[in-house]
Amino acid sequence: MKNKKIVLIYSGFERFWHWAQAGLILFLAFTGFEIHSSYSFLGFRDAIRYHNIAAYLLIVLIVFAVFWHLTTGEWRQYIPTSRNIVAQLEYYVFGIFRNAPHPTKKTALIKLNPLQKLTYFGLKVFLLPATLISGLLYMFYRHPGAGTIESLTIRSLGSIAIAHTICAFALAAFLITHLYLITTGETVTANLKAMLTGFEELEEEEGGRNSGSGRHA
């Protein structure tokens, strides 16, 4: 049986970025659905105002996160790979319910399994940018030009609104899936604790190299 060791997996900034991003996305969803008249809580005008403020804060956070990933080399964590991706999918569909061993090993240098890499790559490179760009276009559909106020056409504005809403639902689906996968660690709260404290208990292989074969989101 392999020994286990407590390892620092997530840095302070990484944890701050994760929770701040999650909070802002949830708040954007909350205000966004109110803007769509799903319910009334803040009021239409305040919902728009707070939604826009949260969008700007998210953009600032993303800028800092991109800088951090580039300067630390953590961007390499998200490069997709086809290695073990089928085994990982089979684990989530079948193996996890049979208490099968995890097909990939988690370390401080390899935090994400193949499906996570593919998912987060799509989230960061496609879904989040598409959400922000469509939101900004919708926000600034009226703009100054040649001394007048110009607008996008009604047709283009409608398409932008639909695209932004589709992105919002995709983000909501990602969050729901993410919340479920959080509970698939060695214990129900293991992954949550790791993102709160930064430390995670991983198996230690021969030679002192730390890895993990337990379940993780």
Tens digits of residue pLDDT in 34-48: 988 888 899 888 999
pLDDT of residue 137: 85
DSSP H helix total and E strand total for the chain: 7, 5
> pLDDT tens-digit profile of 63-83?
999 999 999 989 988 988 888
For 182, the token pair is 């959080």
- At 210 the pLDDT is 47
Nearest Cα residue to 28 out of 195, 172, 166? 172
User: What does the radius of gyration of the chain's CA atoms come to, in whole angstroms?
Assistant: 21
Length of the chain: 217
- Mean pLDDT of all residues in the chain? 83
196 DSSP assignment: H
Domain 3-211 listed as CATH 1.10.10.10: no
At 189 the pLDDT is 83
**Confidence grade of residue 12 (pLDDT, cut at 50, 70, 90):** very high
pLDDT higher than threshold 90 for residue 54: yes
Give the integer Cα–Cα distance in Å for 138 and 35. 13
- For the chain, which residues make up each domain, given as ranges? 3-211
Q: What are phi and psi of 186, to 5 degrees?
A: -60, -35
Residue 20 binned pLDDT confidence (cut-offs 50, 70, 90): very high
* Res 214: pLDDT: 39
Q: Is the pLDDT of residue 142 over 80?
A: no
Is the pLDDT at 215 greater than 60, yes or no? no
How confident is residue 138, by pLDDT bands cut at 50, 70 and 90? confident
Q: Identify the pLDDT of residue 213.
A: 37
- For 80-133, the pLDDT digits (tens) are 888 888 888 888 888 777 777 777 777 777 888 888 888 999 999 999 999 999
CB 58 within 8 A of CB 28: yes
* Segment 163-202, tens digit of pLDDT: 999 999 999 999 988 888 888 777 778 888 889 999 988 7
Lowest mean pLDDT among 16-30, 151-165, 182-196: 151-165
The closest of 195, 1, 203 to 104, measured between CA atoms, is 203
